[in-house]
Amino acid sequence: MVTWQQGVSEDYSMCFGCGQDNPIGLNLNFNWDSKTARAEFTPTKFYQGWSGLVHGGIITCILDEAMGCAALFGGVKCITAKMQVKLRRPALIDEPLIITSSIIRNTRRLVEAKANISLKDGTPVAEGSATQFVINARTGNASNNEDRPKSRRSQAIPIIRIQ
């Protein structure tokens, strides 16, 4: 039996957010300056909700991807446990967007991150914050149940099994 943590691949090529081989994905390409992840994205008509406007779910997805990438650049593989989003203004189709994200706090089991989307002139479009659950640290932290300390708290975390 494989736990979902062990089943997560290092291959991100088909990720909807950053996968460069996903023909329907966002194909986001983040750069890291050791503190901030940054990407530029120009949404096309395939990502619209109302005519001419980027769908709010796509904006939320971009923020989630950005915060996940910040954690990954920071050496930690995470999944989002809780996320808050504030949409500041509608984003237009074919309008270039700047996405930035950074880690606010990093503990053994949780990462807190923030992300922003703005226009090239700095006008805010959306902002988000997230608490992410660490599934394993790329620097060698525990990645499965056998390696975790046997405390009541760690035993309370549900494990999803993939058959």
Most trustworthy range by pLDDT among 3-7, 25-29, 91-95, 151-155 = 91-95
The domain in which residue 116 lies consists of: 2-162
- For 110-152, write each residue's pLDDT tens digit: 999 999 999 999 999 999 999 999 998 665 433 333 333 333 3
Closest CA to 61 of 23, 99, 95: 99
CATH number, domain at 149?
Answer: 3.10.129.10
Tokens of 82: 């809780």
Give the pLDDT of residue 143: 37
Instruction: Report in angstroms the alpha-carbon separations of 2 from 5, 53, 76, 80, 155.
Output: 8, 42, 20, 21, 17
Q: How confident is the model at residue 2 (pLDDT cuts 50, 70, 90)?
A: very low
Query: What is the tally of structural domains in the chain?
Result: 1
5 sits in which H/E element: helix 4-7
Residue 153 has pLDDT above 50, yes or no: no
Give the pLDDT of residue 37: 95
